[in-house]
Amino acid sequence: MIVTLTVNPALDRTIALDAALRPGEVQAARSAREEAGGKGVNVSRVVAAAGVDTLAVLPLATDDPYRVPLAASGISTVPVPVARQVRTNLAITDPDGVTTKINLPGSPLSGADSAAVVHAVVEASADADWLVLAGSLPDSAAASFYVDVISAVRDRRGASAPRIAVDASGPALHEVVAHGAVDLIKPNDEELAELLGTPVDGTSPEGIMDSVRAIVPARVAAALITLGGAGAVLVTAQGAWFAVAPRIRVVSTVGAGDSSLAGYLLADRAGADAAARLTSAIRYGAAAASLPGTQVPTPADLGHHDISVRSI
Ligand SMILES: Nc1ncnc2c1ncn2[C@@H]1O[C@H](COP(=O)(O)OP(=O)(O)OP(=O)(O)O)[C@@H](O)[C@H]1O
Ligand SMILES: [Mg+2]
């Protein structure tokens, strides 16, 4: 069982226009689509599509319109009833592929609601092998929120606590690395540079490994650093590996990072070694990038490209 937490979900509304956006004018839209956005939700969707049990925990008001696309995604969820509504991210697309994004402000999550979310994660983690904390925090939350979740889960679950993976950025990731002693982080090259406070050359796997050694294994057991179309680097206490992503026809890279994290965890649950976990992350990320919108890859979507893993 893989449990995910999405503490700051977003309703992704995409409006497709027949022509380029003309600010200040009235235009007819061709279609509109709504999807349940959020990194933890995305990870759960990929895990569920692979036939593995998953639970997605998220704060969600009983009358929130986000419930409709979330239900359509078919995953098992633990909605924590809260007062505020999920924020909306609007994307306006035109036939030339130009996208204008407008992100509405989210409303704060109260202290009581945050505590309810932590409690729900602790309860949901009873049978979990992995707990995934993914995405940004609400503006109102302290940067240490994920650390609080981690402490609560470990205090309650003790030796049977799940392993913990974090896909976050900025202060939330910084706090997790400083105080969370987690099993896996999944930054991209930009998030890693911000975390370490040093420039990261995405074209140098050796350079990335050297930088990451400042925190792995001293503060984090393993780091999966994804590099978009260039591939990914995995660093653990045992070694470091690099693999190039396959050449694919890129359709939409939305959710590629979430899919690669899910691919890594699915391989881990299946007992794969480091090289095979990295290969699975790359395959799932590439499959996500070759599918439209936020459509998540199933095992049938994974390509048959040769992925060669190099020890670095
Ligand atoms: N253009 C591409 N071609 C092939 N594979 C890709 C491409 N872009 C992404 N991928 C695959 O997806 C993985 C994750 O991509 P990326 O590093 O862009 O994640 P990310 O920056 O965390 O994205 P996000 O958080 O927006 O989902 C890469 O390691 C790679 O395997
Ligand atoms: Mg990412």
**Ligand number nearest to the C-alpha of 43:** 1
Structure confidence at residue 253 (pLDDT)? 86
Q: What residue segments make up the domains of the chain, in order of their start?
A: 1-10+34-89+105-182, 186-312
Answer whether 234 contacts ligand 1 (Cβ < 6 A). Answer: no
Q: Are 208 and 196 in contact (CB under 8 A)?
A: no
Q: For ligand 1, is residue 250 a contact (CB within 6 Å)? A: yes
State how far the Cα of 284 lies from the Cα of 281, in Å rounded to an integer: 5
What is the mean predicted confidence (pLDDT) over 264-281?
Answer: 98
Minimal-distance CA residue to ligand 1 atom 3 = 229
Q: How confident is the model at residue 292 (pLDDT cuts 50, 70, 90)?
A: confident
Distance 92 CA to ligand 1 centre (A): 22
Confidence check: pLDDT of 293 > 90: no
Q: How confident is the model at residue 252 (pLDDT cuts 50, 70, 90)?
A: confident
CATH topology of domain 1-10+34-89+105-182: UDP-N-acetylmuramoyl-L-alanine:D-glutamate ligase (3.40.1190)
List, in sequence order, every residue forming a beta bridge with 184; answer none if it has no partner: 165
User: What value does the mean pLDDT of the chain take?
Assistant: 95
If you take atom 15 of ligand 1, which residue's CA is the nearest one? Answer: 228
Pocket test of ligand 1: the residue of 169, 242, 260 to mutate, having most ligand atoms within 8 Å of its CB, is 260
Q: In 280-303, which positions are buried (b, 16+ CB within 10 angstroms) versus exposed (e)?
A: bbbbbbbbbbbbeebbbbeeebbe
Confidence of residue 219 (pLDDT cuts 50, 70, 90): very high
What is the CA(187)–ligand 2 centre distance, in A? 6
Topology alike, domains 1-10+34-89+105-182 and 186-312: yes
Q: Which residues pair with 80 in a beta bridge?
A: 59
Segment 143-170, tens digit of pLDDT: 999 999 999 999 999 999 999 999 999 9
Ligand 1 pocket, 251 CB below 6 A? no
Nearest atom, ligand 1, residue 186 CA:
22
Query: Which ligand has an atom closest to residue 260 CA?
Result: 1
95 conformational bin, left if phi > 0, alpha if psi -120 to 50, beta if neither: alpha
Distance CA 246, CA 265 (A): 20
Rounded CA gap, 74 and 59, in Å? 17
Question: Cβ(245) to ligand 1 under 6 A?
Answer: yes
Contact 11, 68 (CB under 8 A): no
Residue-wise pLDDT tens digits, 95-139: 887 889 998 888 899 999 999 999 999 999 999 999 999 999 998
Ligand 1 contact via 229 beta carbon (within 6 Å): yes
User: Which pairing describes strands 309-311 and 130-134: parallel, antiparallel, or unpaired?
Assistant: unpaired
Give the contacts of 193 (CB within 8 A, at least 6 positions apart).
Answer: 199, 200
Domain 186-312 class, CATH top level:
alpha beta
Is the pTM value of this prediction over 0.75? yes
Q: What are the structure tokens assigned to 308, written together? A: 């060669």
Q: How far is the CA of 151 from the centre of ligand 1 (A)?
A: 30
Report which of 161, 183, 6, 173 is spatially closest to residue 77, judged by C-alpha positions. 6
Q: Is the confidence at residue 184, as pLDDT, over 80? A: yes
HEC string for the chain:
CEEEECCCCEEEEEEEECCCCCCCCCCCEEEEEEEEECHHHHHHHHHHHCCCCEEEEEECCCCCCCHHHHHHCCCCEEEECCCCCCEEEEEEECCCCCEEEEECCCCCCCHHHHHHHHHHHHHHHHHCCEEEEECCCCCCCCCCHHHHHHHHHHHHHHHHCCEEEEECCHHHHHHHHHHCCCCEECCEHHHHHHHHCCCCCCCCHHHHHHHHCCCCCCCCCEEEEECHHHCEEEEECCCEEEECCCCCCCCCCCCHHHHHHHHHHHHHHCCCCHHHHHHHHHHHHHHHHCCCCCCCCCHHHCCCCCCCEEEC
With a 6 Å cutoff on the Cβ, whether 248 touches ligand 1 is yes
